[in-house]
Amino acid sequence: MKNSKPKDRKQPITMDEIARLAGVSQSTVSRVLNGNAPVAPEKYTAIMEIIERLNYRPNIAAQGLVSGRTSTIGIVTRVLGSPFYGELLRGIATGLQKTNYHPVIGLGGDLINEDLAAVDLLLARRVDALILLYSLDLPDDYIQELAKTVPLIVIGRQVPGLEKWCVVVNNVSGGYLATSTLISKGHTRIAHVSGQLTVRDAVDRLHGYRQALTDHHLPLDPMLIVEGDFSESSGVLAVDKLLAIRNEHPFSAIFVANDQMAQGVRLALYHRQIKVPSDISLIGYDDMPGSEYMTPPLTTIRQPVYYMGLMAVQAILSILDNEHFSLPEFPVELVMRQSVAIASNSRKH
């Protein structure tokens, strides 16, 4: 009878089988796998040879029952097809590489019950920690209580009392920088396409826009503010609304609260045969992958989305290892490309 190859095995390798083949006790195999006690060199060599030959993989669930850990990090996210969330998740995935931890995704949504269900699912899986991505509908007191039961990092919002564990950028500063950039190019009538104003990021970027106009002694026309929902289609609809009133409420530039909506804005202007930037200047927010490949390449406000995900993971790992951690600041910066031009006299008013 031929010896079966490891790949032909139907049953998983057990620690008991490794111990038998290596001629050692099961407790010795356990010490090698856990690395928590010294083992005689010849026994260690024999065990590792069997493990390598049989391609042994530890039963993580069983190990979790013994250690109290599952080597998993729960991630509450949403809109898996979004380039913004994709960049965050890419940073998280990079941070978990070459560690013993693996991400488990809980898909939340725009309703509080969806985020609550995602958290409950992850807690039922006994994840070792949580990272909440823009879970904006969860009440502060709920997150505060949650932090008492499981290590967590919150991305995209400030939770009172948990500031040390929150990854945020200064969106007021970002909105101010975007608007001031347009003003510096001579634009005095600037429209703004916001995100939905139930979201703190959108409110803060709008506040920065308003503050920049005020500080530069420019008029604030409420009719030039159109609320979107961060999607490309809402950018298209916003342009339709703005162009319908442009004769009474002229503008020469648009600050859009994220790059996805800016793509919709750009498309709508193209369909109307309005040139960017010679007719209307355009500036976005986020600097998402692909923004530099728009026509023309999009001037935008970069927030370090990938880095935010990466630093969130490093913070979580430090918490799990009982080590000190301090989250860095996450500054925004202007990325000047070709969608903004100097305003001509005929387009300033």
Give yes or no on whether 71-168 and 171-303+334-347 have one common fold. Answer: yes
Q: Which two tokens stand for residue 285?
A: 């927010």
Q: Output the pLDDT for position 347.
A: 52
> What is the per-residue pLDDT across 44-102, written as a single tens digit (0 to 9) for each?
888 888 887 877 666 554 555 444 568 899 999 987 778 889 999 999 999 999 898 99
Q: Output the pLDDT for position 14.
A: 76
Q: Output the pLDDT for position 163.
A: 93
Classify 178 as helix, strand or coil. helix
Q: What is the amino acid identity at position 21? A: L
Domain at 71-168, CATH from 3.40.50.300, 3.40.140.10, 3.40.50.2300, 3.30.70.260:
3.40.50.2300
> What is the per-residue pLDDT across 251-285, written as a single tens digit (0 to 9) for each?
999 999 999 999 999 999 999 999 999 999 999 99
Spans of all domains in the chain: 71-168, 171-303+334-347
pLDDT averaged over 10-residue windows placed end to end, the chain, 349 residues: 46 77 84 70 84 70 54 89 88 93 89 88 92 89 95 93 94 97 97 93 96 97 97 97 97 97 98 97 94 96 95 95 90 96 71
Question: Within a 10 A sphere around the Cβ of 203, how many other Cβ atoms?
Answer: 18
With 0-12 CB in 10 A as exposed, 13-18 as middle and 19+ as buried, what is 313? buried
With 0-12 CB in 10 A as exposed, 13-18 as middle and 19+ as buried, what is 315? buried
Q: Output the pLDDT for position 52.
A: 79
Handedness of CA 156, 198, 113, 163 (dihedral sign): positive
Claim: this prediction has a pTM higher than 0.85: no
CATH number for the segment(s) 171-303+334-347: 3.40.50.2300
Gap between the Cα atoms of 200 and 206, Å rounded: 10
- Characterize 14-39 residue by residue with b for buried, 16 or more Cβ atoms within 10 angstroms of its Cβ, and e for exposed: ebebbbebbebeeebbbbbeeeeeeb
